Amino acid sequence: MAETSRCSRMVALHLAVAAATPLCPAQAGTATIGRTWPIAEPDAMAEIEARAAKQPKDMARNFGPRSAWSAMQAASLGITTQARTRSVVPFYTLDFDIKLPDGTMLYPKGYTFNPLTYVSLPQRLVIVHPRDLGWAIRVARSADFILLTAGDALALGEKVGRPLFILEERVKGRLGLTVAPVIVAQAKQRLLLQEIVPTTGQRGEAQ
């Protein structure tokens, strides 16, 4: 474990140094050392656009209505009936080894850690049933993610003029979600789950 801690500190130090190092002076960016060749690879965006242009215009028909797409199936939750706030520590267990290029073990399979020890989440998750979307739009900050427990997130997003997402089963499980509306926000090394009961007047149901 001492070796693991030492390696962890090395990686953290390297990342910190890379982040703190200023960009090279302009003159260094224009210097040419050695022989040069033109880029042979095609432009990625041009290639994507060319392939997209060859697809049938009615290709969407092959997939059927969006409501039947597995990728659009949201995880269901109950309805919040009592306001409360609880906390969750989103521990994660590695299912594979992480090694340095020289083969030194950094984190072994089975290592359990709290990701919030290393990262900060600037945005909140506002998770709602479609009937509470109007309320979510009013309480969500510009950086927050609004997740729906049902409905067509793409169509509703176009209607309200804001990106919306579906609640995935893995997110529901990781956060221990049971009801909505709920606002998830980081508080140091924990996640606070604020389960809220909007009043009828606050809901502003989106159809």
Q: Are 54 and 155 in contact (CB under 8 A)?
A: no
Q: Which two tokens stand for residue 77?
A: 């939750």
Distance CA 72, CA 91 (A): 27
Amino acid at 54: K
pLDDT in tens, 141-177: 999 999 999 988 888 999 999 999 999 999 999 899 9
pLDDT in tens, 61-118: 666 666 565 566 889 899 999 999 999 998 889 999 999 999 999 989 999 999 899 8
Q: State the pLDDT at residue 202.
A: 57
Q: 8: alpha, beta or left, given left = phi > 0 and alpha = psi -120 to 50?
A: alpha
In the chain, beta strands by DSSP E: 78-79, 84-88, 92-93, 98-99, 105-107, 112-113, 125-128, 145-148, 165-166, 179-180, 182-187, 190-195
Q: Which two tokens stand for residue 97?
A: 């080894």
Locate all alpha helices (DSSP H) within the chain, ordered by sequence.
2-20, 26-29, 44-53, 133-139, 153-160, 169-175, 200-203
Q: State the pLDDT at residue 130.
A: 94
Return mean pLDDT, the chain. 79
Domain locations in the chain as residue ranges: 70-90+115-203
Whole-structure pTM value? 0.63
- Residues with Cβ < 8 Å from 86, sequence gap 6 or more? 192, 193, 195
Q: State the pLDDT at residue 16.
A: 42
Q: Are 149 and 158 in contact (CB under 8 A)?
A: no
